[in-house]
Structures are given as C-alpha cells and as structure tokens.
A = this chain, B = another copy of it.
Amino acid sequence: MGSTLTRKGLATRQRIVAGAAELFRARGVAGTSLDDVCEATSTSKSQLFHYFPDGRTQLIAAVAQHEADRVLDDQRPELDQLTSWAAWRAWRDRVVGRYRDQGQSCPLAVLTSQLGPGSPEHREVVVGLLRQWQQKIADGIRNMQASGDVASSVDADQHAAALLAGIQGGVMIMLATGEISHLEVALDQGIGVLLATPAQSGTPAQSGVRA
C-alpha cells in the first residue's frame, strides 16, 4: 500500500510539483488549471490523481511546501551565518538580488494570497516558514550581541519581527509596483537600527561594515 513509489514515479511526482509551482508563480493559483499542469509537465490527468488522490487541494499543498522550502534555501548560506556586519550585508544583498531576479513572483506571496480564508493546511506551511525565518534573523542578532556588536539590551525577537515584517512588506510592494526600493530600504533600515545601537560600553563598534 501507500508509499510504494518507484524511482520513476517519484521523478514524475517531482516533475509535477515543480511544473505546477512554476505555473502558479507565473499565472497565479487561481489562473492555473489541472489541465494546464498536465500539459506543462507532459503528464496525464490519471497520473496527477495517481500521485495526488485528493486532487487539486493536495497538489497545492505539495507546491506550497515545495515553495516554502525554497524560500529559506535561497537565502543560504548567508542566513545561517549572520555573525558579522559583512555577513549581514551579504545576506541583505542576496535577498534583494533574489527578489530582483525573480521579478513579479514571490512563491510565498502567491500562495498566501490565493489561500484566502479556509485551507488551514496551507496556512500552516506559511506560518511555519515565517517562524523559521524570524528565528534565523533573531539568532543572527544574538550572534552580534554575543560578539559585542549589538547592545545586549536590544530585544532580538522584536527586532527580528520588525525586520521580517519589513521584508514581507517590501516584497509585497514590489509585487504590486515592480519597484524593489521598498524592500531595500526596509532591509537597510532594519539592519541600520541594529548598527546604530551603542554597542555595550566597551567597544564602540569599529565594525567592518561599509558605511
């Protein structure tokens, strides 16, 4: 029963998810039919329902998970090593660069959107992603506190939350307007706030950030 998936079968399943993800990004979830997915991935309806017995809903969930994974992966390794101002800058640049390249399509946004009320599963995926993301940022702030580059009085979680909100808003605005400047400014300011923090009393940050 169940997980009897041949290597070939797994490849097909993968192909379907990847293809569907691309279509969702390009034309939106609502604007993509299962037939579209079949055509784009060179599969047939029966295959689709073979791998996703619950149909559309299940496919969307799978794509959501797939896309959510990608979001953090695309920020690595920088996101995991926010241990110096240079690293923060590198991360900032990576985030901006990634969204610039991606243009009008944020995998996350595409999914959060179309999943209005209802669909608790999908929401969970998004919530999990946001939580992890914020956690990574907070960890980065704590790194800086440990090394004395940021005052220990700073609330890492709150700053991480604000920074994450700025990123999300920046992306959202980019999707609507095509301008990436909001994202840049939000990141710069979110990091800048940390930078401006009087580091301890000991070393007034001679940080190697290109200021």
Contacts and interface: CB of A to CB of B under 8 A. Distances in A.
Number of copies: 2
Contacts of A176: 112, 123, 126-127, 130
B123 A189 contact: no
Contacts of A168: 168-169, 172-173
Interface in A28-56: 28-31
Contacts of A186: 161-162, 165-166, 169
A161 B175 contact: no
A193 interface: yes
A146 interface: no
A62 interface: no
A156 interface: no
Interface in A101-157: 104-105, 109-110, 112-114, 116-118, 123, 126-127, 130
Contacts of A181: 161
A72 B113 CA distance: 21
Interface stretch (A13-21, A74-82, A202-210): A202-210
- Residues of A contacting B: mostly: helix
Nearest to A122: B176
B162 A185 contact: yes
A26 interface: yes
A95 interface: no
A59 interface: no
A57 interface: no
Contacts of A196: 196, 205-207
A193 B207 contact: yes
A175 B183 CA distance: 20
Nearest to A116: B28
Given A162-B182, A209-B189, A116 B114 contact: yes
